[in-house]
Amino acid sequence: MTPIKRIVICGGGLAAHMTAAALARQLPPTMQITWVNGPDSRDADLFFGGLAPPSAYAFNLSAAVAEPRLIVDTDTTFSWGTQFVDWGADRRSWVQCFHLTLPIVGGVLFHHHLWRQGITELEPFLLPAIAARQGVFAHPVAQGPKLLARSEYGYQFNSYSYKSPFEAAARALRVKIVTADVANIECREGAISSLHLSDGQVLEADLFVDCTGPDARLLSRLGVDVTPGRRLRAAWSHRTVERIGAPCRTLTAREFGWQCDTPLQRSVARLTVYSPEQESEALAAHGEPAQHSGEIMLGRRNVAWTGNCVAIGHAAEILEPLTQAPMLMLQRGIERLLTLIPCSVDMSVERREFNRQSGEDYTHAEIFNRALFEIPLPANTPYWRAAREEPAHEKLAQKIAQFESRGLLVAFDLEPFHNEDWTILHHGVGRRPARFDRMADRIPEAETRAMVGRVPHDIAEFVKTMPAHHDYMQNLIRYLKQKKL
Amino acid sequence: MQIERICILGGGTAGWMTAAALSHKFKGLPISIRLIESDEIGIVGVGEATLPHIRNFNSALNISEPALMKATEATIKLGIEFRDWGRIGDRYIHPFGDFGPNVNGVPFYQFWLRLRELGDKSRLDDYSLGVMLAEMGRFMSPATDPSRVESTFRYAYQFDATRYARFLRKYSEDNGVVRTEGKVVEAKQNAASGFIESVKLDRGESIEADLFVDCSGFRGLLIEQQLKTGYEDWSQWLPCDRAVAIPCETRGPLMPLTRATARAAGWQWRIPLQHRVGNGYVYCSDYISDDEATQFILDNLEGPALASPNKLRFKTGRRRLSWNKNVVAIGLSSGFLEPLESTSIHLIQEGITELIQLFPDKGFAQSDADEYNRRMALNYERVRDFLLLHYVANQRDDSPLWSHFRNLTLPESLQEKIDAWMTRGYIIKYEFGVFLPPSWIAVMLGQNLRPRGYDPRADAAPREILERNAAAILQAVRVAAQNAPDHAAYIRQIGAASDTAPLVANA
């Protein structure tokens, strides 16, 4: 058995930075890691959407990037999720927030008790959603206030800034960084034998990690194709502000696509995503000159790993940054690679399992985004038509059928989005079940009424005591700088 | 329109567990529950050993543990001891619990694989408190604080399934379930929909209901005889098709373990209860005659037999649909998997839990039945793969049955699992299914499937640190096990002893 000794990571974008740090932090010193930090894929990185899920905290830590570093060294802010505005023909608005398991009362999922009372909006029962609308933030702690403890938070970021501490971590962790571009890729028998770099170097390795973005330069050289999906363009700009805005993204549906404002530490970033056919309207609506712009095609490579080359990030799959799906997939891709780093140069078992998991993960994340379009469309324009016309996986039909019929959540193995994400999304788009769980009737009517009256009141009162996101962050940054953390 | 009347057919373990759970969950709602059973029809009561999940079932019903244990002659089960499965003379325990803690997201056994390569002689079992307690015949209630080593194992029961059914009958009747003595001789179906409208009893009475739960055992009175649902035959993978069961007197100390010993034409179970030991031989009729099998088990009892041998026939597999029209099959009517991993009662429990989650109204949405069938199919298939693993991972060449298994083409899902394990000790995980990674690890290692490699991340820490950590875990497990009381003493201490027979008998 010949062990793996040399790993080469290629790419200059967010995916490459995170991969390099995570691998360096967790793999044994016997594995030599070289990172070809090529041209940055800033334009494609727009499509990560600037929103990291709650699991980012632990992920980053396992890549030697602790939260204090991220807060002090980058313009990252905290996030309760995404506020959707004017979504669908009914112009719905809700906060797609992060939340731990909702309470189960009398053996029955929480939302059934609401429906029994004729309440169809979940938001007043979700602390992070209310806090997001009020622009307030505090860290949820398990031992802290009970109301807050079930909330979860992620990060809002500008990928160019967010990735910098990962580079610092990789550098400190013995990664050999080569600043060059890949000039030529030599292949033999379905595998990469060497990379010729723009500076004349030739690199050989046992495993190549392709983080080169949508072009997947290594993987596509080995003949791996994409399943074609919708084409989207994005325009991005940011404007400086005095105060840090709300801890949530605000994503507004437009005829040409959507527009998302993300408050960062010193600015608000605006991302407009649109169908190429409606560029002039989209750019006019963007309102500011675009500082960056990009075009991508949604979808995934037919396999993420072939021969000795594995793709991470956009090189493997591209999801629309409507939700945290793109960052979830990126983190999970890296974690999957770590659990399946081959123990020998014959990596057939690892490859097969990686591809199986990556295919399932993509399907499960894609249907979450796709569920946002299973609604009466707001406009008969190219963006909305194309989104709806994309075939949906049958698992989505199962999930929707069960929710609409009886508010039940159908789940599959190890999905990236949790039942709470789905519950919030179903309510958000205005999906109504035909009946509620009968067992909810076992709780006396008055008791349920008191409960559904009390919770929103308590949440609203608690949120009033929380600090503004701006103040909380300023104090935290000051504290961290004093402590030199 | 809400369901108002539920009729349960059959009063074995499945029937009374269903009645107990439904009557408890629907208490206070306008739903009447009737259960039809006949004293003339015997119950199979195969499952005498259970899985830890049964404790959730009982506690959801507010059943007191000592009362239940006392009423069912129950003992504690920490796992199953497998003898002669890999090779003759081998033995291992499949515990309900972990093998050491995760370190930086890497499971402990990966570090153990590395240590072993470095020449370390410790068994992975030595890092499992569940195994250590089982081997020492000791038990304590698991701790709830996850940082303590005492929290790293779970437990189930070994009990008399007939008494369990009786216990739940009382519970159900107290909850308003009406029991009707009689045999179903006829069922009336709606001409248009094919739904069952009523069943007629041998004494002439006709019972109508909106929902029928078929707990009639192998026959599948409604699900098969009436609705012709069909059966998926899995005997090409699990060919054992008969069993002979017989209780005997106990000899030796009371162990918190079920035992499964591989035999030439199948395997033999030993389940210690408080008042007796349950024994049985599960075999494949291609390789041994019924008489030979009966003689074999009689020759292999530790004490005098307490009843005459009870013979069972079955075909491993699953009903094509567990839920068809307005009939939901729970228990043996829904499928049969041999009790090698004590899954019979667990599959009943799953069937009930899913029925409650997907409880229909009179409209009987097809989506409910579809989802129920999808979930149950997954449960059965995943148990099947796990059972099959025990058979195929053998190195025996003493009889045709074992050669048959060594040459079997496996379901793809299982083959991939074994390949991933053999390459690097990787466990392909799932979320929905009863057996978690530690169970797969226990059986694969126990049956001599030694991975060729291990997770490279286990090399990240220096050897000395790894050795020091491993030694600390060993020590903590040993101390915790030594501090636990003896199994029989524990049963007495919590007031669960039935005192119908001495807890520890001598030859």
Contact, A163 vs A177, CB < 8 A? no
Closest CA to B326 of B106, B6, B93, B99: B6
CB contact under 8 A, B456 and A343: yes
Range of the domain at B390: 94-154+382-487
CB contact under 8 A, B432 and A28: no
Alpha-carbon gap: A414 to the closest alpha carbon of chain B (Å) = 6
Task: pLDDT band for B310, please (50, 70, 90 cuts).
Answer: very high
Could you tell me if residue B133 is inside a domain? yes
Contact, B268 vs B243, CB < 8 A? no
User: Which candidate from A28, A402, A414 shows the least CB-CB separation from B456?
Assistant: A28
Residue B344 carries which side chain, given as an amino acid letter? S
CB neighbours of A379 closer than 8 A, spacing ≥ 6?
A: A255
Could you tell me if residue B409 is inside a domain? yes
Could you tell me if residue B270 is inside a domain? no
Note whether B389 and B446 are same-domain residues.
Answer: yes
* Optimal mutation site among A62, A348, A439, A443, interface B, most CBs of chain B within 10 A: A439
Contact, A114 vs A122, CB < 8 A? yes
DSSP category for residue A114: H
Note whether B346 and B463 are same-domain residues.
Answer: no
Summarize chain A as % helix, strand, coil (round to 5).
40, 25, 35
Query: How many CB atoms neighbour CB B488 within 10 A?
Result: 21
Could you tell me if residue B54 is inside a domain? no
pLDDT digits (tens, 9 = 90+) for A397-452: 999 999 999 999 999 999 999 999 999 999 999 999 999 999 999 999 999 999 99
Mean local confidence (pLDDT), B403-422: 94
CA distance B472 to B479: 11
Of B364, B390, B418, the position where a domain reaches its end is B364
Is residue B444 scored above 80 in pLDDT? yes
Q: Which residues of A touch B460 (CB under 8 A)?
A: 26-29
CB contact under 8 A, A3 and B456: yes
Could you tell me if residue B256 is inside a domain? no
Phi, psi of B319 (to 5 degrees): -60, 135
Closest CA to B47 of B373, B224, B394, B312: B312
Look at residue B104 and give its three-state secondary structure: coil
Note whether B357 and B386 are same-domain residues.
Answer: no
Note whether B111 and B180 are same-domain residues.
Answer: no
* Optimal mutation site among B376, B424, B430, B431, interface A, most CBs of chain A within 10 A: B424
Residue of B nearest to A351 (CA): B420
pLDDT digits (tens, 9 = 90+) for A246-279: 999 999 999 999 999 999 999 999 999 999 999 9
- On average, the pLDDT of chain A sits at 96
Chain-centre distance of CA B108, in angstroms?
26
User: What ipTM goes with this model?
Assistant: 0.95
Contact, A51 vs A156, CB < 8 A? yes
Q: Which of B25, B70, B77, B325 is catalytic?
A: B77
* Optimal mutation site among A4, A33, A339, interface B, most CBs of chain B within 10 A: A339
Q: What is the pLDDT of residue A41?
A: 77
Could you tell me if residue B100 is inside a domain? yes
Q: What is the pLDDT of residue B5?
A: 98
Phi, psi of B187 (to 5 degrees): -130, 140
Let me know if B70 is a catalytic residue: no
CB contact under 8 A, B453 and A1: yes
Out of A361-365, A388-392, B238-242, least confident range: A388-392
Task: pLDDT band for A205, please (50, 70, 90 cuts).
Answer: very high
Note whether B465 and B328 are same-domain residues.
Answer: no
Look at residue A235 and give its three-state secondary structure: strand
pLDDT digits (tens, 9 = 90+) for A1-33: 789 999 999 999 999 999 999 999 999 999 999
Structure tokens at A227: 């399943």
Note whether B412 and B457 are same-domain residues.
Answer: yes
Number of compact structural domains in chain B: 2
Is residue B71 scored above 70 in pLDDT? yes
Note whether B176 and B141 are same-domain residues.
Answer: no
Closest CA to B14 of B160, B214, B185, B212: B214
Q: What is the pLDDT of residue A470?
A: 98
Q: What is the pLDDT of residue A72?
A: 96
Q: What is the pLDDT of residue A337?
A: 98
Task: pLDDT band for B47, please (50, 70, 90 cuts).
Answer: low
Contact, B11 vs B35, CB < 8 A? yes
Dihedral, CA of residue B411, residue B417, residue B419 and residue B421, to nearest 10: -150
The structure tokens 């503004």 sit at A468
pLDDT digits (tens, 9 = 90+) for A282-337: 999 999 999 999 999 999 999 999 999 999 999 999 999 999 999 999 999 999 99
Q: Which residues of B touch A338 (CB under 8 A)?
A: 105, 457
Note whether B355 and B448 are same-domain residues.
Answer: no
User: Which candidate from B365, B368, B428 shows the least CB-CB separation from A353?
Assistant: B428
Of B331, B364, B397, the position where a domain reaches its end is B364
CB contact under 8 A, B371 and A402: yes
- On average, the pLDDT of chain B sits at 95
Note whether B184 and B148 are same-domain residues.
Answer: no
Burial B392-422 (b: 16+ CB within 10 A, else e): bbbebeeeebbeebeeeebeeebebbbbbbb
Dihedral (CA of B326, B330, B336, B341) sign: positive
User: Which candidate from A343, A439, A442 shows the least CB-CB separation from B454?
Assistant: A343
Look at residue A308 and give its three-state secondary structure: coil
Task: pLDDT band for B506, please (50, 70, 90 cuts).
Answer: low
CB neighbours of B241 closer than 8 A, spacing ≥ 6?
A: B235, B284, B285, B313, B314, B315, B316
Task: pLDDT band for B199, please (50, 70, 90 cuts).
Answer: very high
Note whether B165 and B148 are same-domain residues.
Answer: no
Of B336, B364, B392, the position where a domain reaches its end is B364
Residue of A nearest to B422 (CA): A349
CA distance B190 to B362: 14
Q: Where are the alpha helices (DSSP H) in A300-347?
A: 325-339
Note whether B106 and B206 are same-domain residues.
Answer: no
Note whether B336 and B410 are same-domain residues.
Answer: no
Domain harbouring B202, CATH code: 3.50.50.60
